[in-house]
């Protein structure tokens, strides 16, 4: 029955065909690393009538080059403009200059033939020694030195675990594995330590993850590292993002030194006391530092996740359609209703998966709190532990309600509102409020945005009958002037 209905609908609807733009970049763009600027030159298959600009700075003067009617395009970016990033490297000594350039072929829109390139130039620092003194001495003893090649190091962010695929796009809450590896031509000669790690959004807003001793600054972003071998370090983490930012850049320093043959193991950071280990007085160890940068990670909000693959339509979506007369409007109603029902089922599955992930995260958080109990004062320990346990209980009750059918996804009246209602469950809203408070403390959101979002969440909790604390009630009274039109939908 449905096959006939869908076929009829396709017959009565007009067919629209989009003509792709007959153009594109020919070969690879040429990059010129000048003394004061970076230039990008590229050839096109046909006449170029589009734009080339720095990502996120389309409307800024000097950050966009417009069409020229030729089969070649270019843009030159001085170091001091358009957010061109500078990153200092200790080994090799020098500076990385980098930016992202987008080439568009349509005068107004981004289309499938457009390209984005991450441009990076390295300027090596030169060491010069000049001397005029001449000394004459007796015959000297010749020394023969064999240079041991230094290890080559890399930083990867992998999906799921140490053997996963590299991640370039991720959703909030996705489990990833940070992995640092150094490859050496000789085995057992070197030790390594990862330290001074930062994450930034590519626009100068940076947060430190590991201090200069290699210890975690915020264990809920990245915990203390594990060292499975002399030249490998890693740790699991979950994807997070800056407010209103879609990209993350991770950068760390790796310290390399020759292994003490008298000891079986390499020294590792002592992070519980947050103090640097003292070096043995009878050893003179030379340390080398090198910078490693991960691939750029693009992050998406968990609410904008792509639809799950679907191979069949659930039978629950075919109810009460027998009596409808098959006019074009009725057929359209059937198709839309089936699509909405399918979306509701997928949203329900996604909600259950999300609750499971949050339960796992809270269990790990409770474990970390117990591990760090000795370094916390009693009041903070009890407050964090109680809050975490309360969240675990609330989410467990929510999961039971969903799985028992109390939150039905097949009610035809509420199918289209399932995702909104799921996002408005008090435990989920409480979790959003906790994340917002953390973002504000870390200066990831400004004060105005923080107040608006907090007011929105507390107002939703109040309407859902959730009991607010006295300070939360006071916050609502103090900010009652917020207009509902200015507030976004919670979720």
DSSP code, position 44: E
Mean pLDDT of 46-73: 84
**Range of weakest confidence among 288-292, 311-315, 425-429, 434-438:** 311-315
As a dihedral over the C-alpha atoms of residue 277, residue 281, residue 285, residue 286, rounded to 10 degrees, the angle is 90
User: Which residues have a Cβ under 8 Å from the Cβ of 238 and sit 6 or more positions away?
Assistant: 173, 174, 175, 176, 361
pLDDT by residue (tens digit) across 230-250?
899 999 988 877 666 667 788
Nearest Cα residue to 255 out of 295, 218, 208, 214:
214
Residue 421 has pLDDT above 50, yes or no: no
**Range of weakest confidence among 92-96, 340-344, 401-405:** 340-344
pLDDT band at 48 (very low <50, low <70, confident <90, very high): confident
Q: What ranges make up the beta strands (E) of 34-114?
A: 37-44, 51-54, 64-66, 72-78, 85-90, 93-104
* CA–CA gap between residue 225 and residue 271 (Å, rounded): 10
Q: Which residue has the higher pLDDT, 488 or 155?
A: 155
pLDDT band at 225 (very low <50, low <70, confident <90, very high): very high
Tell the burial category of 306 from Cβ atoms under 10 Å away from its Cβ (0-12, 13-18, 19+).
exposed
- Report the DSSP beta bridge partners of residue 115: 103
pLDDT attached to residue 232:
92
Nearest Cα residue to 222 out of 197, 188, 201, 190:
197
Model's pTM, two decimal places? Answer: 0.41
pLDDT attached to residue 312:
41
Cα-flanking dihedrals φ and ψ of residue 450, to 5°? -60, -45
CA distances from 86 to 95, 224, 241, 461 (A): 7, 28, 22, 44
* CA–CA gap between residue 49 and residue 107 (Å, rounded): 7
* CA–CA gap between residue 194 and residue 49 (Å, rounded): 47
As a dihedral over the C-alpha atoms of residue 236, residue 178, residue 231, residue 214, rounded to 10 degrees, the angle is -80
Mean pLDDT of 27-44: 87
Cα-flanking dihedrals φ and ψ of residue 373, to 5°? -55, -40
**Range of weakest confidence among 14-28, 49-63, 368-382, 453-467:** 14-28
* CA–CA gap between residue 275 and residue 403 (Å, rounded): 48
Residue 376 has pLDDT above 70, yes or no: yes
* CA–CA gap between residue 100 and residue 55 (Å, rounded): 6
* CA–CA gap between residue 355 and residue 427 (Å, rounded): 10
pLDDT attached to residue 341:
52
pLDDT by residue (tens digit) across 187-208?
778 888 999 898 887 666 788 8
What is the Cα 298 distance to its own chain's centre? Answer: 5
């Amino acid at each position: 029955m449905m096959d006939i209905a869908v076929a009829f609908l396709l017959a009565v609807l007009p067919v629209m065909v989009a003509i792709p733009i007959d153009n594109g970049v020919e070969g690879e763009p040429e990059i010129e690393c000048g003394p004061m600027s970076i230039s990008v030159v590229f050839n096109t298959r046909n006449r170029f009538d589009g734009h080339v600009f720095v990502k996120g700075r389309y409307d800024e003067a000097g950050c966009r080059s417009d069409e020229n009617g030729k089969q070649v395009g270019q843009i030159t970016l001085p170091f001091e403009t358009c957010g061109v990033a500078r990153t200092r490297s200790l080994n090799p000594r020098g500076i990385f200059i980098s930016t992202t350039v987008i080439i568009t072929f349509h005068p107004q829109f981004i289309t499938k033939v457009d390209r984005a390139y991450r441009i990076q130039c390295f300027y090596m620092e030169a060491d010069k020694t000049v001397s005029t003194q001449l000394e004459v001495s007796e015959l000297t003893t010749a020394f023969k030195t064999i240079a041991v090649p230094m290890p080559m190091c890399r930083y990867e962010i992998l999906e799921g675990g140490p053997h996963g695929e590299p991640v370039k796009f991720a959703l909030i809450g996705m489990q990833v594995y940070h992995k640092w590896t150094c490859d050496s031509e000789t085995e057992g000669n070197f030790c390594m330590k990862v330290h001074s790690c930062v994450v930034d959004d590519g626009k100068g807003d940076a947060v430190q993850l590991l201090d200069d001793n290699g210890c975690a600054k915020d264990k809920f972003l990245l915990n203390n590292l594990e060292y499975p071998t002399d030249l490998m370090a890693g740790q699991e983490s979950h994807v997070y993002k800056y407010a209103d930012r879609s990209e993350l850049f991770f950068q760390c320093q790796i310290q390399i030194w020759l292994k003490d043959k008298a000891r079986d193991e390499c020294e590792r950071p002592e992070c519980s006391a947050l103090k640097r280990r003292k070096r043995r007085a009878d050893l003179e160890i030379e340390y080398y530092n090198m910078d490693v940068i991960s691939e750029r990670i693009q992050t998406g909000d968990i609410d904008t996740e792509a639809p799950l693959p679907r191979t069949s339509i659930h039978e629950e979506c075919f109810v009460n359609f027998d009596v409808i007369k098959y006019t074009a409007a009725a057929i359209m109603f059937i198709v839309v209703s089936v699509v909405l029902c399918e979306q509701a089922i997928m949203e329900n599955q996604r909600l259950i998966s999300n609750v499971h992930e949050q339960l796992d995260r809270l269990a790990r958080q409770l474990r970390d709190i117990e591990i760090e109990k000795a370094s916390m004062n009693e009041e903070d320990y009890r407050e964090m532990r109680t809050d975490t346990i309360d969240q675990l209980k609330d989410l467990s009750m929510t999961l039971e309600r969903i799985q028992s059918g109390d939150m039905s996804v097949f009610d035809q009246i509420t199918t289209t509102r399932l995702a909104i209602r799921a996002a408005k469950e008090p435990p989920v809203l409480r979790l959003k409020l906790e994340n917002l408070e953390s973002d504000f403390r870390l200066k990831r959101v400004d004060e105005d945005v923080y107040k608006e979002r907090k007011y929105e969440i507390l107002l939703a909790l109040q309407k859902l009958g959730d009991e607010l604390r006295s300070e939360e009630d006071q916050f609502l009274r103090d900010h009652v002037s917020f207009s509902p039109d200015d507030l976004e939908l919670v979720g």
